[in-house]
Structures are given as C-alpha cells and as structure tokens.
C-alpha cells in the first residue's frame, strides 16, 4: 500500500499496521480458539495447569463424537434448506418492495416505508409468542415451513430498507430511456434495474442468509423433533446437558457451522460491501 504524502515509515507502522494487526487478532482470535479447542484432547482441555492458548497434541475425537452421537449433518442440511428458502422469499419481497417504495409514487408510500422499517425494530423476543400461536393455528408447528415463513418477519424489513437505498442510486434516466424505447415498466425493471442492482441484491441475500443461519429463538420454539432441528438449537440441546458442557464437541460444531457462511462471504464480500455502501452517498 502506498504511503500518504509526508507520511514516514514509522508513522505508517504505528498508525496503520499496528492497529490493523490488533484488529485482526481481535477478529480472528475466536476462530483460533474454536479450532484449537475442537482438536485438543480432554486431558489438555480441562487441565488448568496447561496454557489454554495452544495445544500439545491433537485429536479428532470431538468431531467423531459430534458426527456419531448427534444428528449434526442432518441439522446442517435443515439449516441450509431453511436459510436458502427464507432468503429467496425475503429477497424477492425486498426487491419488489424496495423498488416500489423508491421508484413509484402513490399515496402512503412514505408511511409504508417507515412502517416496514419500524417492524424491524420489534425484537423477536416479543414476537415469538404471538407467532407461535399463528404457527400452531396454521398447522406448521415442528416443520421447516414454520421457520421459512417466520424468518422473513426479520429479514424483509432490512432487505427492503437496504434495497430502497440501493435502487435510489441507480439513475432514473436509465429506466426512462428503456421506457422511451418501448419497454414496459416490468421489462425495464428486469432488464435494466435488476442487473445494475446485483450488488445490493447479493448484499441483501447474504445478510438474510446469515441471519437465518444463526437464528436461535424461533428455531427453539417452533421446532421440537430432533430431525427437524437446526444447527444452532441442535448443538446446544445435545452438547449442553445440565451443568456438563462438552466443550470440545461444542467448539467443533460451532466451527463447522460457521464454515459455510465464511465460504459464501469470501466469494461475495465485494458485492456485500458495495451493496451496503451503495446507498450511503447521495448522488
């Protein structure tokens, strides 16, 4: 990276590289902890005389316990399916609502936009009680659909708000040109707006997928059968028993559960940043 004009080497080290290093340590330390705790044998893990920051010998016993004594793989599949479906539903609704609120003029659009965002502020800890009644009356209790249809209550408001901002950055003239050339509004939306809004859509999708993947409360309340559980609930139910925690397997489960998100982000992080910042500058 080039130095700024007038900046000395040591200034760069003190004001850039050292803070950056500290930031990296703070961010990556939890992953390091998870990795070393998941491969450390129990005799080292519970031995207070040994340093907790490194391991002397490695074992895959915790992973073996996770796969052989729990339904971890099934939980991962459930979580993936639920996260994918709820993301698809939420992003679709968010795109349509975001476009409508940012581009179309109709009575009540401003109030509607504000109310959609305000619903995002209602915490799930308040919503889970009325939602559980609704889910039960719909006959969806203990099914994947209970989560696919309730997660959008959290995801759609944020997706809509994010995409509203992003759609506003796309010049109206582009759409108007397409309309002048004979395209219908729908055609202009599909062929002009959507391709340009790809970073924003991917950003909303990533955010929705991450939230769905990590969600705990609704998954705890709406799902009861072990085979329908998600990773977040399943790992806690099976590996935290009374006052005994299987820390090695817990860390193994947490590590494996975070890998899909890490992989997805590594491929799409540029779009994510572009999507989040796209509406930040008024142009």
Q: Which residues bind another protein (CB under 8 A)?
A: 42-43, 46-48, 128-129, 132-133, 136-137, 141, 217, 220-221, 224-226, 233, 236-238, 240-245
Q: What are phi and psi of 7, to 5 degrees?
A: -90, 130
> Strand ranges (DSSP E) for the chain?
240-241, 244-245
Shortest separation between residue 129's beta carbon and another protein, angstroms: 4
Nearest residue (CB) to another protein, 201 versus 233: 233
Q: Write the DSSP symbol of residue 226.
A: G
The shares of helix, strand and coil residues in the chain, as percent rounded to the nearest 5, are 75, 0, 25
How far from 169 is each of 60, 159, 182, 219, CA to CA, in Å? 50, 16, 23, 36
Shortest separation between residue 221's beta carbon and another protein, angstroms: 4
Nearest residue (CB) to another protein, 244 versus 280: 244
Nearest residue (CB) to another protein, 102 versus 230: 230
Shortest separation between residue 55's beta carbon and another protein, angstroms: 15
Nearest residue (CB) to another protein, 134 versus 263: 134
Shortest separation between residue 40's beta carbon and another protein, angstroms: 12
Shortest separation between residue 136's beta carbon and another protein, angstroms: 4
* Residue 132, CB-side half-sphere exposure with 13 Å CA sphere: 15
Give the closest residue to 34 by CA, choosing from 20, 55, 64, 49: 55
Spatial separation of the C-alpha atoms in residues 44 and 36, rounded to whole Å: 11
Nearest residue (CB) to another protein, 118 versus 241: 241
Assess contact for 209 and 84: CB atoms under 8 A. yes
Nearest residue (CB) to another protein, 117 versus 128: 128
Q: Cβ contacts of residue 100 below 8 Å, gap of 6+?
A: 109
Shortest separation between residue 59's beta carbon and another protein, angstroms: 12
């Amino acid at each position: 990276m080039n130095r700024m004009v007038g900046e000395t080497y040591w200034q760069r080290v003190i004001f850039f590289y050292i803070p950056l290093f500290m930031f990296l340590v703070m961010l990556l330390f939890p992953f390091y902890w998870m990795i070393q705790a998941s491969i450390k044998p129990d005799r080292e893990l519970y031995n207070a005389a040994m340093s907790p920051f490194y391991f002397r010998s490695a074992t895959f016993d915790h992973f073996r316990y996770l796969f052989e004594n729990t339904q971890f793989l099934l939980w991962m599949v459930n979580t993936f399916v639920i996260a994918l479906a709820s993301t698809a539903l939420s992003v679709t609704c968010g795109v349509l609502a975001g476009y409508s609120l940012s581009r179309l003029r109709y009575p009540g659009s401003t109030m509607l936009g504000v109310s959609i965002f305000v619903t995002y502020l209602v915490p799930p800890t308040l919503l889970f009680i009325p939602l559980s009644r609704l889910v039960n009356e719909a006959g969806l209790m203990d099914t994947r659909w209970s989560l696919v249809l309730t997660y959008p209550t959290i995801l759609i408001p944020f997706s809509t708000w994010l995409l509203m901002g992003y759609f506003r950055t796309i010049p109206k003239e582009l759409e108007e040109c397409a309309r002048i050339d004979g395209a219908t509004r729908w055609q202009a939306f599909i062929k002009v707006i959507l391709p340009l809004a790809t970073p924003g859509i991917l950003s909303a999708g990533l955010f929705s997928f991450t939230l769905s993947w990590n969600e705990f409360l609704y998954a705890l309340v709406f799902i009861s059968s072990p085979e329908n559980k998600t990773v977040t609930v399943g790992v806690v139910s099976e590996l935290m028993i009374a006052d005994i925690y299987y820390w090695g397997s817990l860390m193994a489960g947490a590590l494996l559960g975070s890998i899909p998100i890490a992989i997805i982000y590594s491929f799409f992080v540029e779009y994510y940043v572009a999507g989040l910042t796209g509406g930040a500058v008024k142009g």
